[in-house]
Amino acid sequence: MSASTLPSELAEPASDHQLLEVSLGPQHPSTHGVFRMDVSLDGEMVVKLKPVFGYLHRNHEKIAEKCSYLGSIPYTDRLDYICSLTNNWAYAMTVEKLAGLVAPERAEYIRVILSELTRLINHSALAGFLLQDMGALGTPLMYAFREREKILDLFESLTGARMMCNYMRFGGCRCDLPPGWIEQTRSLVANFPSFLDEFEALLTGNEILQARTEGVGVLTPQLAVNAGVTGPMLRATGVNYDIRKVDAYGVYGRFSFRVPLGERGDVFDRYMIRILEMRESLKILEQALRDIPAGPIIDPKAKLRNLRPKPGEAYGRIEGPKGELGFYLISDGGPNPYRYRIRPPSLINLTILEDMCLGQTIADAVVILGSVDIVLGEVDR
Amino acid sequence: MSGLDQIFVWIGHRAAGWFPASVQPLVSAVLAIAGVMAVFGTCFALTTLAERKVLGRMQNRFGPNRVGPYGLLQPLADAVKMLTKEDIVPFSADKTLHFLAPLVLTVPVWLAFAVLPFGRNMSAINLDAGILFFFAVGSASELAVFMAGWSSQNKYSLVGAMRAIAQMISYEVPLVLSVVPVLMLAGSLELNDIVAAQGTYTFGGLARWNVFTPWGLAGLILFLIAATAESNRSPFDLPEGESEIIAGFLTEYSGFKYALFFLGEYLGLFAVTGLAVTLFLGGWHAPFQWLEWVPSWFWFAAKFGALIFLFIWVRATLPRLRLDQLLNFSWRFLVPLSLINLLVAAAWYWTGAWKFPVVAPIRWLLCAALIALPYHWLGRALRGAMPPPRKYIYAE
């Protein structure tokens, strides 16, 4: 604001010019929900940035402690509402660890298929949103959403819901695949590369996209590791850390796929890593759809209602589309967890926002935020 | 000339003829103004609809199709909505400036249409310095945008206004410079003369438009880029960069004032598009001699529509530039290139005197090389040292 309208005590005496303090959000077109950035601007340059979150806090962790183990599964859908199935999986896996259940092989394959489809949804939508933040008026986003719709149709035919799937259970999955589902998925997987090629032809070589992303929001591997950043954000800095490889949870050990690693850790790398990861996901999907065995889809020992695990604790983690998604549960032998805690990748990846944004322009800050890939449902819980 | 070609001129004369001779000049002026306002006002309404429709189609969706057949009445619904919305003036705003800004934007923009020739004998006034007049009234929009941004007392508005000023001043220069070769070759500042200079045919009936020369093609491209930036359209829509600063200088405007800003921006776009048609695309002339029988105003409208479609297409395609990139692009690329284009136009003029067989392709290629090589070098310089292509290693 102009000097005349500011109270004199707010003026900085040492400086000959004042900073413009802007509160971006919680109602702002590109904060991806109700997220706020308190930004101090010197002209267009960001000199201070304070992320403020909590506007979407809904007490998820405490509610889950009052809820039965089964009752929390629909809640986990609402964490990262773009990727409900991976949330389901992480939670189901933790309860399985806690209660000593083992999901049948077919269920594990279904989980892998659904989780990789979710990754396709997340990454293509992210690329669209990122371009939206750059000002590409919706065209990439609509192209991405066209593909997302096809995958959501598959989810709908399997689980009955498009986004809030509520599908996985500890010990397996809720229901078996409907007839023809595998074939539909196979044809989707076969057609997806042509979408990726089209998308890349539109975007990756675009001069404006390169100019807007190269060298913007550089994250060093040291800072990324120290801050606990995971997922594509971390791999874009060149650190080889993919929990699908590290833990080989589920049946991931049986598939051959590669982990793309970035070079410089800027926004372009983060965009590109996600595109490359989608191509690897397609490989996993092809193999899983080929190898999926017949059999039961849920552990017969699993007691969905009134599950009372022995006292103990468990931490289960998966490689969610956004990074390491972990659930930590303590059981005291009762019907509901004594302690329920989530490690949300969005929140942890967001903590280094200021480090990436300082010295960049306000337009870059928006793009950097977009490249972090946050969903506020998960950040605020 | 066919009757259809001159039908609007004829109607104007007949209507003015009903009045006493003393007021006839005034009446014909008023009729011309009314005609321009009616046509381009309708054009504004239709373009908002067409833009949303075309954008929709390019984005795998339908666009507006609820109001009226094919959504044709959508502009009316929008107008009603805009008129009935509450007109909010922020408490701390400078109320006079806040009120004046949309008017200051909209009124001078109408003036620019006065000098454009929309068809044979169809320009409202024949000014000797028509182009100067056009740019003079066109540059009032900078003032309006800054008034809007400053008077709103909103941080986003202020940032948007600062961006707008930097952008419009930077792109005014290549906009004007890219026009200068046309003036040099036509030897006149009057738009009717410039159209007449493109009115002859060559090579068995192909029109001699400026765009078919190397300097004309380069000039048109430079002009269109600068015009995109001048009218704040994507990829140069930084002043209202939605994803960064909400709506820029428009943030604190609502209701009909907001609609007026929209009107002003679209009219500014129409005006520069009309100028591009006039200067580079032969104005109202037909592209081929055997098509001369089609009314002249149809050709103007067709070229005008094609360029508007081009603008919409660009908007659907490109992401936005950053402010520093935007300014660099203007001062380090467009301005030098448009200066070089002056020299190319001069070379074209001199080589016009050459007399030997197959002179035309040689002359064309020579002048094209004169503009293509600087384009290449300037582009390389602007891009900076190209980083080596990235290699993404895969961990097994």
Residue from B150, B238, B243 to probe the interface with A (highest A Cβ count within 10 Å):
B243
The reply to whether residue B322 touches residue A363, judged by beta carbons under 8 angstroms, is yes
Report in angstroms the alpha-carbon separations of A86 from A59, A71, A168, A183, A272.
20, 17, 9, 22, 22
Torsional sign, CA A213, A214, A215, A220: positive
Residues lower than pLDDT 70 in chain B: 1-2, 241-243, 385-387
Which phi and psi (to 5°) does residue A212 adopt? -75, -20
The reply to whether residue B323 touches residue A363, judged by beta carbons under 8 angstroms, is yes
pLDDT at B290: 78
* DSSP 8-class letter at B235: T
pLDDT (tens digit per residue) in B255-264:
888 888 888 8
ipTM over 0.85: no
Q: What is the mean pLDDT of residues A210-220?
A: 86
Q: What is the mean pLDDT of residues A356-364?
A: 86
Report chain B residues whose CB lies below 8 A from the CB of A143: 59-60
Report chain B residues whose CB lies below 8 A from the CB of A41: 159
pLDDT at A6: 44
* DSSP 8-class letter at A251: T
With bands split at pLDDT 50, 70 and 90, how would you rate the model's confidence at A15? low
* Gap between the Cα atoms of A150 and A152, Å rounded: 5
The reply to whether residue B319 touches residue A44, judged by beta carbons under 8 angstroms, is no
Instruction: Please check whether residue A28 touches B, CB under 8 A.
Output: yes
Confidence check: pLDDT of A14 > 60: no
With bands split at pLDDT 50, 70 and 90, how would you rate the model's confidence at A156? very high
**Token pair belonging to A167:** 């599908």
Report chain B residues whose CB lies below 8 A from the CB of A213: none
Look over chain A and give the mean of its residue pLDDT values, rounded to a whole number.
86
Q: What is the mean pLDDT of residues A280-309?
A: 87
Q: What is the mean pLDDT of residues A12-40?
A: 75
Q: For chain A, how big is the Rg over CA atoms in Å?
A: 22
pLDDT at B120: 80
With bands split at pLDDT 50, 70 and 90, how would you rate the model's confidence at A1? very low
pLDDT at A8: 46
Report chain A residues whose CB lies below 8 A from the CB of B394: 258-261
Q: Which residue is closest to B162 within chain A, CA to CA? A: A43
Q: What is the mean pLDDT of residues A124-145?
A: 86
Report chain A residues whose CB lies below 8 A from the CB of B246: 28-29
Of A38, A50, A362, whose CA–CA distance to B158 is shortest?
Answer: A362
With bands split at pLDDT 50, 70 and 90, how would you rate the model's confidence at A43? confident
Please give the model's pTM, rounded to 2 decimal places. 0.86
Instruction: Please check whether residue B181 touches A, CB under 8 A.
Output: no
Q: In Å, how far is B262's CA from the nearest CA of chain A?
A: 17
pLDDT at A328: 93
B291: which residues sit within 8 A by CB, 6+ positions away?
none
With bands split at pLDDT 50, 70 and 90, how would you rate the model's confidence at A118? very high
How buried is residue B23: exposed, middle or buried, by Cβ count under 10 Å (0-12/13-18/19+)? exposed
pLDDT (tens digit per residue) in B287-319:
887 777 888 888 889 999 999 999 999 888 888
CA angle B19, B21, B22 (to 5 degrees): 105
B289: which residues sit within 8 A by CB, 6+ positions away?
B201, B205, B206, B207
pLDDT (tens digit per residue) in A61-104:
899 898 888 888 998 988 888 889 999 999 999 999 888 888 89
* Gap between the Cα atoms of A169 and A158, Å rounded: 14
Confidence check: pLDDT of A13 > 60: no
Q: What is the mean pLDDT of residues A224-231?
A: 90
Instruction: Please check whether residue B59 touches A, CB under 8 A.
Output: yes
Between residues B87 and A119, which one has the greater pLDDT?
A: A119
Confidence check: pLDDT of A29 > 80: no
CB burial of A4-36 (b: ≥16 within 10 Å; e: otherwise) equals: eeeeeeeeeeeeeeeebebebbbebbbbbbbbb
